[in-house]
Structures are given as structure tokens and as C-alpha cells.
Amino acid sequence: MKYALNILLLFTLFQSSAQNLVPNPSFEDTLQCTWTFGDIQNCPPWFQPTAGTPDQFHECYVSQPWDVMLDVPLNNMGYQQPVSGKSYAGLLIAYPWVGIAPWNWEYREYIEAPLNSPLTAGETYYVSMFLSLADSSHYYTNSIGVHFTVDSLLNDSTYAFVLSPSLSNSNYLSDKTTWMEFRGEYIAQGGEKFITIGNFENNLNTDTIPTGSGSITGIDEYSAYYYIDDICVSTDSLSCYSEVGLNELSKPEKELIRIVDTMGRETEDKPNTLLIYVYSDGTTEKVFRLE
């Protein structure tokens, strides 16, 4: 009996060590359903470490017929199904457009959470998450990173954390249709208790490329804005790395779902009037048809 208990104990310890150390990894646990941006605090223990305001998107959000705001899958930033569950987060990673945000304004959004347990020195941890460029974005970038720290990065600035992240992405993440998997390995220094995700470069070192498309929903479309879902940190690569194709998460065919005027009121299609076409994939188009 003692031998059997020892085996059970060892098996339990092995299983627990391979668990995901990221709490609320897909932002499913929510305190309430609001319809305002900058509400990542509704997904405890995730929080915004700076004055930048990351967002949560969830099926439970209730919106006006003419304003989908933070809904899933269709919202003000675009259209995307979650990787799993009913929710995901959104981050403004870069703001390169001079007309809205001059290059000397390094506005950033980050999300941070305490890990379920501190990292062990010398241990290799496998890290993964899924990202999708929002339809409204006019830019995409490779400046996305993950940083582990002993203490929180909490401060009241809206500016970039300029530091060397624990893991960074070298690929330009431009896909608005499917989820792209970020993955890497990190050897812990020991005692790291917090995970922070965002852009850790200043504007000079943030490389952005125009997408050639994007909707007209507000100033945020002139950014590189990404949805993020299913974040994982584990000593077991099989716990974090996906072996399943992502094509099944692709968007449906784009269809016109409503027409609104410049005041957001639903209307019929008519000539000689500035109208906004709203499509099923979250994109919008300003139309003026002259007759």
C-alpha cells in the first residue's frame, strides 16, 4: 500500500508540474459584462500594468444593433472566432500613423497576470499563445513579446516598456483570417512571478508594414491591433504547443449585413448620401453613390 501511495504521489507531482501556469489563459472567467473598451480587469487576475487600456471581447457583451463594440465574434475591431471558449483579449501593439499619433507618442497596451507559481531557476518553460490581426488594423508588425519578472511592471504611464523581453517574435504577423501561434522556450532565472505581453520596443525600433486594407471605425484602425487567446506556460511542450491546424477558425465569406448613416442609424441604400456599409467580417466601408 505504501508503494502504491508513493507512485500515486509521484504521478500527481508530475501532472501538476506540467500544468499551465497561466491563470485564466483564455479570458473566460469574467466578473461582469460591460460594453466599454479597456476592461481587461474584468478577467482576473489579468490587469493592465500601465495606463494603456487593453480590451476583453466576450459573447456575453450586449451591444446596440448599430454598434457591436466588444462582442464575439463580430466587434468594432473586426471579426474572429475564439481559439477556444467564448472570449479573447485585444492589444494595441503599435501606433505608427503620424496623422493620429506622432512618432514621439509611444502609446502601448499590455496585459499582465501573476503566474500560478514562481518559475524554477534553470528549468525550461514552453510558452505559446495565439494572435490574430484585427480587421480594422491598417498595419502589422513583428514587435510582440512575452516578459517574465519577479515583480510587477505596474506604473501609470501610457508609454512603451523599452526592455529586452524574455521571448520575442521575429515573424511579421499579418493574418486577419486565422490565428497565428507564437511559441518559444524560456530558461528561468528563478523566482519569476509575473507574465507581461505586449510590444517592448520604442517607436524607432518598431517595424510596421501597411496591410493595404482596414475598416473606418475610429482612430484605432490606424494601429497594429491584435486579438490574443489561449496563453500557455508549462514545463511540458505538449501542454502548450498546438498540433492542430488553424484553418477551421477562418472567417466566413464577407457579406453586407446592414447599412447605417453617419449618425449610426440603420437606413436603406440610397444615392447622393454618405452611407456606411457594415459587413459580416467586421469591416466597414464608406460609400457615396452619385446619381
Q: pTM value?
A: 0.76
pLDDT of res. 291: 67
Indicate whether 2 pLDDT > 50. Answer: no
Parse the chain into domains and list their residue ranges.
Answer: 18-249, 256-288
The helix (H) or strand (E) run that includes residue 11 is helix 2-17
Q: How far apart are CA 26 and CA 288, in angstroms?
A: 41
Q: How many CB atoms lie within 10 A of CB 120?
A: 15
Q: pLDDT tens digits, residue range 255-265?
A: 787 787 766 67
Residue from 72, 83, 84, 67 nearest 33 by CA: 72
Non-local CB neighbours of 49 within 8 Å, separated by 6+ positions: 110, 111, 112, 152, 153, 154, 155, 196
Maximum mean pLDDT: which of 60-64, 116-120, 157-161: 116-120
pLDDT of res. 136: 86
Contact 73, 267 (CB under 8 A): no
Q: pLDDT tens digits, residue range 232-255?
A: 999 999 889 876 444 333 344 567
Q: How many CB atoms lie within 10 A of CB 215?
A: 24
Task: Report the CATH number of the 18-249 domain.
Answer: 2.60.120.260
SS3 of residue 204 by DSSP:
helix
